[in-house]
């Protein structure tokens, strides 16, 4: 099986003016065939997320007319605008909506589902989305809408803003992408209001960002990030938030949006594998956005000089939202409008600066979590997740069933590049189950094709082994293919183990399932709500690569040596003490790992040569 949504790098989609004109031409033909006598442009199958969809198609038609002056479009734009103003604007409170601060305000809002009382919780984001479609149409209205229509659209947008910021609690779902989208709507609306009122709306939008979003950022891997549904990062909505930050900066010029967007971009670059695979988040574990992410990845990838476009998107949504029959849906259409309007080119070469939470070279990458334990390992087109044993997750030595990867004290990192090799040494103080302090030194070395991992710790009792990852997916012509085995070599013995027990808390890589499905099965909330990462944390055991200690290590040390990739090549590392520490020799390099005490500042030392 293949992962259903992480398909292709988003920077592979053509983004020339001609390519975008072709996209718009397709939308135009579908829309003109679909439009009803009343002016409705919604997809016939649309039920949920409906409040902004017809107006979204209208904005795309307006953009197409501005670029092509197709004579068929003015009448369709006017008729569909009237439809939205007449049929899709609600002013009576939706029965059951729980987030009102003012009852019977009379302010207009958009509904997630048209039926009264049916899933009203979605009305806040739906109103944000409808506001964004409306302000896009206001930007494009010249020559298309009458003065009366433009005035009605402006008044509706003003009412949407007031409903979002006065009649309801702000950001009631604690969703960063929705909240920043609302701020963008205010910034864009302000340009269409009288100067004094526009200045007030702009100031209010920036204050909401500062006080209600930025002040509540969550730290992960050293970065402060807009919270998403109660967590720091979501690999579906996080890049969408990046697009909203890009538009906020484009519209306002305020440096705060650029600075925060660059922080998010650098964070994403560090956690993302070379091949663009990512997983994890408080809302979706493996689902990726498509066109919704392009603006932010392109805009901020260029600003921080990183190839963020390698992000594997859902290219079925590579241009715009679609329904199951492939027909265009207007949901989130503003993102296509903005990415067409923005001419920032993709930055396609990797950032060359060493990053604490990433090791990257060629086709090899290791993304590290906040504890400097690998969260994703990629080598030879194969991707490994942290394995689980006895409810403990990670990569590291296991002694008497206890995984040594959680630091008890400061974790030190040393990056070295030499002779075509890239290396990272991570030194962690850890405590065993019986409260003995040990120093785990993990050396990661790559030549861009293979990854060597050497883990050194004071002599461990019993029969320790290295938990070396859960083989999960591999690159193939059709996308990311689920796997249950991989090319891994060990200096000691090597096993691929599978859980003996059955149940949702045991993940067997041979099963026809995905990490996302397993995470939702274990989550406390229904699918689509809550935090599936918390569900995955309840995993008891998983398929795992396990390696025994390497022979020939000094008597006072336990050393593990594993190579990812390079199947069939000789792997016979040697270990000996030298004045500077432990010398490791492999078929590709010689490294000297310094003693745990480090240099005069306590920092780890590492030397490396081919």
Closest by CA position to 89, among listed 121, 117, 127: 127
> Does position 378 have pLDDT exceeding 80, yes or no?
yes
Please give the average per-residue pLDDT across 75-79, as a whole number: 98
Please give the average per-residue pLDDT across 401-423, as a whole number: 96
The confidence score (pLDDT) of residue 70 equals 97
The confidence score (pLDDT) of residue 481 equals 96
Beta carbons of 471 and 379 less than 8 angstroms apart: no
Strand, coil or helix: what is 482?
A: strand
> Does position 96 have pLDDT exceeding 80, yes or no?
yes
Strand, coil or helix: what is 454?
A: strand
Calpha distance 280→127 (Å, rounded): 27
Please give the average per-residue pLDDT across 465-473, as a whole number: 98
Taking the model in full, what pTM does it have?
A: 0.97
Please give the average per-residue pLDDT across 556-575, as a whole number: 94
Strand, coil or helix: what is 473?
A: strand
Which distant-in-sequence residues (6+ apart) come within 8 Å of 349 by Cβ?
A: 305, 307
> Does position 530 have pLDDT exceeding 80, yes or no?
no
> Does position 60 have pLDDT exceeding 90, yes or no?
yes
The confidence score (pLDDT) of residue 105 equals 98
Closest by CA position to 467, among listed 411, 403, 406: 403
Calpha distance 43→356 (Å, rounded): 46
The confidence score (pLDDT) of residue 527 equals 74
The model's pLDDT over 241-266, given as tens digits with 9 standing for 90+, comes to 999 999 999 999 999 999 999 999 99
Which distant-in-sequence residues (6+ apart) come within 8 Å of 200 by Cβ?
A: none
Handedness of CA 392, 398, 401, 402 (dihedral sign): negative
Least confident of 228-232, 378-382, 439-443: 228-232
Please give the average per-residue pLDDT across 208-224, as a whole number: 96
The size of the chain, in residues, is: 610
The model's pLDDT over 355-372, given as tens digits with 9 standing for 90+, comes to 999 999 999 999 999 999
Calpha distance 411→371 (Å, rounded): 8
Please give the average per-residue pLDDT across 129-151, as a whole number: 97
What Cα–Cα distance (Å) separates residue 418 from each residue in 415, 421, 608? Answer: 10, 5, 6
Strand, coil or helix: what is 62?
A: helix
Q: How confident is the model at residue 122 (pLDDT cuts 50, 70, 90)?
A: very high
> Does position 142 have pLDDT exceeding 80, yes or no?
yes
The confidence score (pLDDT) of residue 566 equals 87
The confidence score (pLDDT) of residue 529 equals 79
Which distant-in-sequence residues (6+ apart) come within 8 Å of 30 by Cβ?
A: 327, 328
Q: How confident is the model at residue 299 (pLDDT cuts 50, 70, 90)?
A: very high
Beta carbons of 476 and 380 less than 8 angstroms apart: no
Calpha distance 70→28 (Å, rounded): 10
> Does position 537 have pLDDT exceeding 90, yes or no?
yes
The confidence score (pLDDT) of residue 94 equals 97
The confidence score (pLDDT) of residue 452 equals 98
The confidence score (pLDDT) of residue 485 equals 95
Closest by CA position to 397, among listed 423, 428, 420: 428
Please give the average per-residue pLDDT across 131-143, as a whole number: 97
> Does position 567 have pLDDT exceeding 80, yes or no?
no
Largest CA distance in the chain: 86
Please give the average per-residue pLDDT across 104-119, as a whole number: 96
Strand, coil or helix: what is 340?
A: helix
Strand, coil or helix: what is 200?
A: helix
> Does position 429 have pLDDT exceeding 80, yes or no?
yes
Average pLDDT value over all residues in the chain: 96
Calpha distance 458→163 (Å, rounded): 62
């Amino acid at each position: 099986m293949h992962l259903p949504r992480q398909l292709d790098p988003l920077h592979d989609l053509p983004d020339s003016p001609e390519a975008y004109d072709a996209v718009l031409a397709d939308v135009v033909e579908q829309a003109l065939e679909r439009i009803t006598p009343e002016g409705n442009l919604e997809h016939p199958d649309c039920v949920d997320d409906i409040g902004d969809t017809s107006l979204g198609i209208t904005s795309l038609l307006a953009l197409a007319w501005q670029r092509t002056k197709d004579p068929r479009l003015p009448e369709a734009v006017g008729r569909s605008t009237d439809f939205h103003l007449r049929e899709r604007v609600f002013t009576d409170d939706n029965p059951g909506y729980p987030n009102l601060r003012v009852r019977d305000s009379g302010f207009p809002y958009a509904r997630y589902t048209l039926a009264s009382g049916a899933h009203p919780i979605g009305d806040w984001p739906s109103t944000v989305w409808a506001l964004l479609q409306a302000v896009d149409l206001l930007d494009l209205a010249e020559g298309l809408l009458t003065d009366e229509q433009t005035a009605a659209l402006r008044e509706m947008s003003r009412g949407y803003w007031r409903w979002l910021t006065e009649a309801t609690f702000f950001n009631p779902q604690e969703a960063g992408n929705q909240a920043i989208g609302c701020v963008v709507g205010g910034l864009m609306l302000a340009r269409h209001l009288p100067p004094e009122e526009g200045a007030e709306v702009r100031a209010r939008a920036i204050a909401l960002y500062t006080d209600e979003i930025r002040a509540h950022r969550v730290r992960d891997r050293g970065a402060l990030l807009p919270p998403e549904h109660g967590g720091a990062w979501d690999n579906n909505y996080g890049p969408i938030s990046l697009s909203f930050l890009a538009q906020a900066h484009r519209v306002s010029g305020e440096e705060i949006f650029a600075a925060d967007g660059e922080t998010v971009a650098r964070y994403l670059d560090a956690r993302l594998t070379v091949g663009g695979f990512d997983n994890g988040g408080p809302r979706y574990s493996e689902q990726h956005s498509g066109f919704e992410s392009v603006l932010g990845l392109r805009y901020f990838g260029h600003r921080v000089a990183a190839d963020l476009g390698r992000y594997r998107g859902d290219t079925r949504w590579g241009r715009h939202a679609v329904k199951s029959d492939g027909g265009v849906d207007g949901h989130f259409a503003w993102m296509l409008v903005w990415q067409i309007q923005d001419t920032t080119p993709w930055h396609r070469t990797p950032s060359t600066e060493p990053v604490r939470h990433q090791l990257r070279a060629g086709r090899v990458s290791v993304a590290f979590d906040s504890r400097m334990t690998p969260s994703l390992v990629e080598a030879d087109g194969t991707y490994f997740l942290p394995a689980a044993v006895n409810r403990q997750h990670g990569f590291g030595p296991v002694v008497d069933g206890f995984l040594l990867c959680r630091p008890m004290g400061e974790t030190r990192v040393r990056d070295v590049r030499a002779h075509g090799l890239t290396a990272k040494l991570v030194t962690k103080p850890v405590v065993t189950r019986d409260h003995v302090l040990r120093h785990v030194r993990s050396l990661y070395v790559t030549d861009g094709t293979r990854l060597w991992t050497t883990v050194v710790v004071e002599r461990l009792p019993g029969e320790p082994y290295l938990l070396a990852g859960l083989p999960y997916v591999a690159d193939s012509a059709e996308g990311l293919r689920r796997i249950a085995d991989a090319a891994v070599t060990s200096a000691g013995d090597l096993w691929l183990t599978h859980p003996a027990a059955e149940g949702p808390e045991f993940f067997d890589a041979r099963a026809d399932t995905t990490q996302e499905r397993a995470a939702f099965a274990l989550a406390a909330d229904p699918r689509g709500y809550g935090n599936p990462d918390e569900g995955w944390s309840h995993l008891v055991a998983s398929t795992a690569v396990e390696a025994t200690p390497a022979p020939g290590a000094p008597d006072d040390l336990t050393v593990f040596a594993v190579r990812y990739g390079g199947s069939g090549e000789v792997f016979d590392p040697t270990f000996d003490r030298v004045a500077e520490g432990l010398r490791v020799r492999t078929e590709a390099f010689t490294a000297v790992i310094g003693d745990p005490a480090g240099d005069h500042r306590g920092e780890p030392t590492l030397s490396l040569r081919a």
